[in-house]
Amino acid sequence: MSLSDADFAARFRHLLRQPLIGMRTLTSGLSREPLSAPAKEILSAISQGLEETDIELQALGHFLWLSYGNPIPQPAPLELEDAMAAMIGRDSDLRGEGGRIETDLAPLTVCTDENLLALSILPLLDNALAFSKGSITLTARPQAGKRVAIVVKDEGIGISDHFMAPPYEPFRVENELQTSRPSRLGLGLPVSSRAIEALGGRLIFRRPETGGTEVTVDLPAHLPER
């Protein structure tokens, strides 16, 4: 399967999500109707389930595009601090828990693909929030050799050995009893690692002695513009 068209993921998500979007629109309309308390509770549970399913379909579309769609970076200059703030603000999960994310980003201008950068970092933040009740630290620093290190650190349970190094297998998840989020498809690391690879970077895990997990995304600071 060889797809060079970067619209693959968007087309895939559109086809699979179209019925789901219709159902979410319907439940949104019903929520404004005068319903009994039990009916509202049922409708709320349905809406939450539809939202979770929508998130997973988007992740699946990203995974298939990154795995089979031959993603070609489209670099452009970015102010890293502004770009990261915008990415977090657009993500519904992260936006709701943004108060737990502490940022310390050096004033850096990078030349990279913003979409692939988001797919590199956001799943790591999502995982950190899911497996930690404390604060999450997001830092970025310039490195030697015209590279940049973006680090996500949490105070959670610590990453399991089988997630410390590639291959990052899809559909493999930590014990859901250890997470504050509903069980998902286990596509966070596979999506992140493939996006990082497309940008010419690497993913490095470390378990600090103080606990938690520290994930470093090592990327070229300046990809050649096309």
pLDDT digits (tens, 9 = 90+) for 125-146: 988 888 888 889 999 999 999 9
Is residue 83 within 8 A of residue 190, CB to CB? The reply is: no
**Which residue reads 């190094």 in tokens?**
165
Rounded Cα–Cα distance for residues 119 and 87 (Å): 10
Give me the amino acid identity at 67. Answer: S
> Residue 154: left (phi > 0), alpha (psi -120 to 50), or beta?
beta
Q: What is the pLDDT of residues 12-27, one digit of tens each?
A: 667 777 777 778 788 8
The yes or no reply on domain 76-220 and CATH 3.30.565.10 is yes
Is residue 195 within 8 A of residue 67, CB to CB? The reply is: no
Rounded Cα–Cα distance for residues 115 and 104 (Å): 21
| pTM for the structure as a whole | 0.81
Rounded Cα–Cα distance for residues 116 and 95 (Å): 19
Identify the weakest region by mean pLDDT among 80-84, 140-144, 179-183, 198-202: 179-183
Per-chain mean pLDDT for the chain: 81
Rounded Cα–Cα distance for residues 19 and 169 (Å): 29
Pairing of strands 136-143, 101-105: parallel
pLDDT at residue 173 is higher than 70: no
Cα torsion 32, 33, 35, 39 to 10°: value is -60
Rounded Cα–Cα distance for residues 192 and 183 (Å): 18
User: In the chain, where are the structural domains located?
Assistant: 8-68, 76-220
Give the tokens for residue 22.
Answer: 């219709």
